[in-house]
């Protein structure tokens, strides 16, 4: 026996069987950041510049990607998310991205929240890459997860 | 006029028109890392454990995602990549991921390489998340890009 | 507060949270029309011509698109439709298209029915465009919706 | 022989063989409209309301759908569009939508432009449907097409 | 009335309405085989050769395709599988493929299991086609199906 | 060195780099069969029954799947097919399926033709499975391939 739920007893990759898991209300919060040059951030913050469009585009991309997580991550179960949201916070040297995903199905939505953050970050990268050659996407991680086994709440680090 | 090629003159999000760009051989190299607990890395390195399957699954996920980049990133041009590869290097506290993408079309493949790294990282996260609550995906960035305008080579940072 | 459920309190686009909505039997009926030149319609009605294939192709395209509505419409919730059907009625100057969609999930299927009509119409356009330069897709609208909040029935106009 | 290029000599649905067609620069312009209640339009035009987000979301949805036209329309050839744009014009009783698509491949991009208009219209519908029960999507049609056989320009009605 | 559930009373293709069917635990087992040249099989069995990677890639492809069955098969209902697995058994002249699919929704998962087998077989074909020109995919069929109407078990031939 | 082009020198799965391959006109012909009970075939042949719809649906499914081959088969290169067709021939105990695919790109279209046959077969299975519990999909193989390296023609067995 091992701790890797996606590997069977012989070590082969394998989907977890969730047929007998209870559908409960599940929620996950993930975060990440895109580090940018100060001038890029200033331009995005500048009212004269289309901040809304960069971040709105990134938000929509993150939401749409979250809905297709199971197409991207091989062993993820398909599930119908009941809510996903992506929010941004502009800081000194980075754009913080946080994504919340919810479902009422039998598997957690960590990967959905993490996928929303990742694709929103990639979209910011794409939108700004002609202006900034120093960007870096970092610190993508799960922050909190509720629901599941015992409707418990797990806080990550 | 601004430096954001994906925003038009009124600041609205807009795809770049590449109708008149020359198809040339283009290549991009991106990198990133998944930071894990020492025990998780040890388990992955342990011959008794299915290292191959975790990383093979992540590689396949990265390759397949690279092919669908334009479905995920709103302003990306669809293009047929001629090659994409994802490689891993296990280090003290992280798995380094590098992805190469190539095409002979009229737009660069930076986003394809970055998407391959991101989805490979998410897949490692998914495969190990039952065993490790400390994982973090970081330092996703473009390393090198060749081809395009003047077949020049750009090194990032 | 505003009436736009897909916009949050600051006016940003946002998915509706349906985590706490009850799954009930929901149904929607949408209609639309493709206006064509009389000769095109005559050709389609002519037994010698492959009426079946034009409309069968359009029906299949509409059904398949309905299943993927949440991939196309950014703020639509993914849901598993339990039924979708597309029917056609040939009239003097148009092909009337009607689509019914059903589900037992927590959100309505209006967009699924409207997407089925739209893609069926686009497919008729594609199938006939070499023969008819006058086509126009019009009057796509929701006709009726049942289920949801109070299992009430709403008739549109 | 018939005028329906997507039907073979026995009347069966069939993709056109474009293997021997020349890749040339091709462009298509399509239009359509969403008719709304005056109050909905007023709300969208009101600076206090998030006009940008409704239309930005619709634009992104239209652009992304155009890239996937060949997945939706059964007999459409897959092609890599080099440009697609969706623009809106608010009028008395409607939002006019126009979409331009371009490619350098061997088939026209009419269906890509029409798909962009249709999915942008459906997205406006989705964004406003909680506030307006009278909406109608109409007058989707091809306006102009250039390139192809003789690099000629065809104006539709 | 006819026995073809996907055809309506006039003989037109039509999705089955499962709105009123009970969600129950459903399972299907399908099998198939790829016949190969003895040298190809020997190479795959040879410890020196990357057996794992050929079969791991085929397994992942089968699992991912099963999740998208309703996108491929026009009249299939979308459903969220709770488990899918693909296994291989190397024999004298063939690789036997078996796939199990499970769900707790209102429709059976036969097509999901059959799609997993088919796409795993196509992937083996793709991985070996440079080395073997004699391959043949055969004997894809449903072996067993449980759940549904009366939670009965049907064995196929 | 090995004969498996999709495996690198260390035996890891890897996409073939076709960046430097010449785009030429390439074509592939694949075949396969669905074996059915005599009564099912008789019903499909019976003019009173909707033969057209079963086979038209299967044809459309095969054509649409061929366009998405690179999404299904992990190491397949994305390519824009210039033509794909699926044809059927009803025989004593089976429906023969043949599919032709063409492209002008740098990689062959064998997998596209084989995918078209496989998904058309699965669709026939789905359409007839309520009436026939004995179906079997068999003998899917490549028949002929032209174009590529030396524009040569290879006949398979």
Q: Judge contact between C28 and C101, C-beta under 8 A.
A: yes
Res C1: pLDDT = 36
Question: What torsion do the CA atoms of E43, E47, E49, E50 make, to the nearest 10 degrees?
Answer: 120
* Residue E67 distance to chain F (closest CA, Å): 11
Task: Spell out a b/e string for E15-45, using b for 16 or more CB atoms within 10 Å of the CB, else e.
Answer: bbebeebeebebbbbbbbbbbbeeebbebbe
**Confidence grade of residue E51 (pLDDT, cut at 50, 70, 90):** very low
Res F9: pLDDT = 67
Token pair, residue F40, equals 């099912």
Question: Dihedrals φ, ψ of A60, to 5°?
Answer: -65, -40
Please report the DSSP string for chain B in residue order: --S-TTB-TTS-B-----TTSPP--EEEEEEEEEE--HHHHHHHHSTTS-HHHHHHHHHHHHHHHHHTHHHHSTTPPP---SEEEEEEEE-SSEEEEEEEEEE-SSS--HHHHHHHHHHHHHHHHHHHTTT-S--EEEEEEEEEEE-STTS-EEE--
* Residue D56 distance to chain A (closest CA, Å): 7
Which residues in chain E are closer than 8 Å to A12, comparing Cβ atoms? 56, 59
Chains contacting B (3 or more CB pairs within 8 Å): A, D, E, F
* Residue C121 distance to chain D (closest CA, Å): 10
Residue with tokens 């996903």: A84
Please report the DSSP string for F128-151 in residue order: HTTT-S--EEEEEEEEEEE-STTS
Q: Provide the CB-side half-sphere exposure for B27 (13 A, CA).
A: 16
Nearest chain A residue to C70, by CA? A67
d(CA E121, CA F117): 13
Residue B144's Cα: distance from chain center in Å? Answer: 12
Which residues in chain E are closer than 8 Å to B61, comparing Cβ atoms? 60
**For chain E, where are the alpha helices, taking DSSP H only?**
38-45, 51-67, 69-72, 110-128
Which residues in chain E are closer than 8 Å to F72, comparing Cβ atoms? 61, 64-65, 119, 122
Q: How many CB atoms lie within 10 A of CB F23?
A: 14
Res F1: pLDDT = 36
Interface contact D111-C125, CB threshold 8 A: yes
Q: Label residue F93 exposed, middle or buried (CB < 10 Å: 0-12, 13-18, 19+).
A: exposed
Reference E138, options E100, E95, E89; nearest CA is E95
Angle at the Cα of C50 (from C49 to C56), degrees rounded to 5? 155
| Segment F50-67 mean pLDDT | 88
* Residue B130 distance to chain F (closest CA, Å): 26
Instruction: Tell me what the pLDDT averaged over chain E comes to.
Output: 88
State the best of B61, B72, B78, B153 to mutate against chain A, taking most chain A CBs within 10 Å.
B72
Interface residues of chain B, partner chain F, Cβ below 8 Å: 25, 56, 59-60, 63-64, 67-68, 80-85, 102-104
Residues 6+ apart with CB under 8 A from F56: C52, C53, C56, C57, C60, D12, D13, E13
d(CA E140, CA F3): 27
Token pair, residue A79, equals 């599930």
Please report the DSSP string for D16-30 in residue order: ---TTSPP--EEEEE
d(CA C117, CA C142): 10
Q: Label residue F96 exposed, middle or buried (CB < 10 Å: 0-12, 13-18, 19+).
A: middle
- Does the structure show a pLDDT above 50 at B1? no
* Residue D26 distance to chain C (closest CA, Å): 16
Q: Which residues pair with B145 in a beta bridge?
A: B28, B154
Q: Is the dihedral of CA B103, B105, B110, B113 positive or negative?
A: negative
3-state SS assignment for residue C17: coil
Token pair, residue E117, equals 């087998």
**Confidence grade of residue E1 (pLDDT, cut at 50, 70, 90):** very low
Q: Judge contact between E152 and E56, C-beta under 8 A.
A: no
Res C9: pLDDT = 67
The predicted complex's ipTM stands at 0.94
Question: Dihedrals φ, ψ of E109, to 5°?
Answer: -115, 25
State the best of F60, F62, F80 to mutate against chain D, taking most chain D CBs within 10 Å.
F80
What predicted TM-score, i.e. pTM, was given to this entire model?
0.94
Interface residues of chain D, partner chain B, Cβ below 8 Å: 25, 56, 59-60, 63-64, 67-68, 80-85, 102-104
Which residues in chain B are closer than 8 Å to D81, comparing Cβ atoms? 77-78
**Sequence-separated contacts (24+) of B96-100 with Cβ below 8 Å:** B96/B31, B96/B32, B96/B33, B97/B31, B97/B32, B97/B33, B97/B34, B97/B58, B97/B62, B97/B121, B97/B124, B98/B29, B98/B30, B98/B31, B98/B143, B99/B29, B99/B30, B99/B31, B99/B62, B99/B66, B100/B27, B100/B28, B100/B29
Nearest chain B residue to E63, by CA? B57
Question: Has B46 been annotated as catalytic?
Answer: no
Q: How many CB atoms lie within 10 A of CB F10?
A: 8
Q: How many CB atoms lie within 10 A of CB E2?
A: 15
Q: Judge contact between C87 and D47, C-beta under 8 A.
A: no
Residues 6+ apart with CB under 8 A from F94: F33, F34, F35, F36, F41
pLDDT in tens, D65-90: 999 999 999 999 999 999 999 999 99
Residue F72's Cα: distance from chain center in Å? Answer: 13
**H/E element, C53:** helix C51-67
Interface contact E53-F12, CB threshold 8 A: yes
Q: Provide the CB-side half-sphere exposure for E87 (13 A, CA).
A: 9
| Segment D134-149 mean pLDDT | 92
Which is more confident, B148 or B77? Answer: B77
Which residues in chain F are closer than 8 Å to D14, comparing Cβ atoms? 85
* Residue F57 distance to chain C (closest CA, Å): 7
**H/E element, A29:** strand A26-35
Interface residues of chain C, partner chain F, Cβ below 8 Å: 52-53, 56-57, 60-61, 64
Nearest beta carbon to residue B102 from set F13, F17, F74: F17
Reference A81, options A63, A98, A59; nearest CA is A63
Residue E146's Cα: distance from chain center in Å? Answer: 15
Interface contact C72-D50, CB threshold 8 A: no
Q: Judge contact between B98 and B117, C-beta under 8 A.
A: yes
pLDDT along chain A (157 residues), means of 10: 68 87 92 95 67 84 98 96 95 95 92 98 94 94 84 65
Res F98: pLDDT = 98
Percent of chain E having pLDDT more than 70? Answer: 89
Nearest beta carbon to residue F82 from set D14, D80, D106: D106
State the best of E19, E24, E70 to mutate against chain C, taking most chain C CBs within 10 Å.
E19
Q: Judge contact between E27 and E147, C-beta under 8 A.
A: yes
Res F87: pLDDT = 95
| Segment E17-30 mean pLDDT | 92
**Confidence grade of residue B94 (pLDDT, cut at 50, 70, 90):** very high
Nearest beta carbon to residue D122 from set C73, C123, C136: C73
- Does the structure show a pLDDT above 90 at E86? yes
Interface contact D17-F104, CB threshold 8 A: no
Least confident among B111-115, B131-135, E108-112, E141-145: B131-135
The catalytically annotated residue of E8, E46, E85, E126 is E126
Interface residues of chain F, partner chain C, Cβ below 8 Å: 52-53, 56-57, 60-61, 64
State the best of B57, B61, B67, B119 to mutate against chain E, taking most chain E CBs within 10 Å.
B57
Nearest chain E residue to A78, by CA? E80
pLDDT in tens, D34-44: 999 998 888 87
**H/E element, C60:** helix C51-67
Q: Is the dihedral of CA B102, D23, F150, F103 positive or negative?
A: positive
Which residues in chain E are closer than 8 Å to F122, comparing Cβ atoms? 72-73, 111, 114-115, 118
d(CA C7, CA D128): 9
Interface contact B4-A60, CB threshold 8 A: no
The beta-strand segments (E) located in chain D are 26-35, 83-90, 94-103, 136-146, 153-155
Interface contact F71-B64, CB threshold 8 A: yes
Nearest beta carbon to residue B15 from set D68, D84, D103: D84
- Does the structure show a pLDDT above 60 at F121? yes
Q: Judge contact between B29 and B100, C-beta under 8 A.
A: yes
Res D22: pLDDT = 84
Positions of D annotated as catalytic residues are 126
Question: Dihedrals φ, ψ of A86, to 5°?
Answer: -125, 130
Chains contacting C (3 or more CB pairs within 8 Å): A, D, E, F
Interface residues of chain B, partner chain D, Cβ below 8 Å: 12-19, 21, 70-71, 74-75, 77-80, 105-106
Task: Spell out a b/e string for A71-85, using b for 16 or more CB atoms within 10 Å of the CB, else e.
Answer: bbbbbbbbbbbbbbb
Which residues in chain C are closer than 8 Å to F120, comparing Cβ atoms? none
Q: Judge contact between E30 and E143, C-beta under 8 A.
A: yes
Interface contact F60-D13, CB threshold 8 A: yes
Instruction: Tell me what the pLDDT averaged over chain B comes to.
Output: 88
| Segment F104-125 mean pLDDT | 95
Question: Dihedrals φ, ψ of C118, to 5°?
Answer: -65, -45
Reference B116, options B157, B146, B86; nearest CA is B86
- Does the structure show a pLDDT above 90 at F78? yes
Interface contact E82-A19, CB threshold 8 A: yes
d(CA A66, CA A51): 23
The C-alpha R_g of chain E, in whole angstroms, comes to 17
Which residues in chain F are closer than 8 Å to C56, comparing Cβ atoms? 52-53, 56-57, 60
The catalytically annotated residue of C46, C126, C132, C139 is C126
pLDDT in tens, B13-67: 889 999 989 888 999 999 999 999 998 888 877 644 554 588 899 999 999 999 9
3-state SS assignment for residue A99: strand
Reference D69, options D138, D137, D37, D115; nearest CA is D115
pLDDT in tens, C63-121: 999 999 999 999 999 999 999 999 999 999 999 999 999 999 889 999 999 999 999 99
């Amino acid at each position: 026996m091992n701790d890797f739920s996606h590997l069977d007893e012989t070590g082969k990759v394998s989907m977890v069987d969730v047929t007998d898991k209870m559908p409960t209300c599940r929620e996950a919060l993930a975060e990440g950041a895109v580090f940018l040059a100060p001038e890029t951030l200033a331009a995005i913050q500048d009212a004269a510049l289309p901040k809304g469009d960069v971040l709105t585009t990134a938000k929509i991309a993150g939401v749409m990607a979250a809905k297709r997580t199971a197409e991207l991550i091989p062993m993820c179960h398909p599930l119908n998310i009941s809510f996903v949201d992506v929010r941004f916070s502009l800081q000194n040297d980075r754009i913080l991205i946080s994504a919340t995903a919810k479902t009422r199905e039998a598997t957690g939505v960590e990967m959905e929240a993490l996928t929303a953050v990742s694709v929103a970050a990639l979209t910011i990268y794409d939108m700004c890459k002609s202006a900034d050659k120093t960007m870096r996407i970092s610190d993508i991680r799960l922050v909190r997860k509720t629901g599941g086994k015992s409707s418990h709440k797990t806080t990550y680090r």
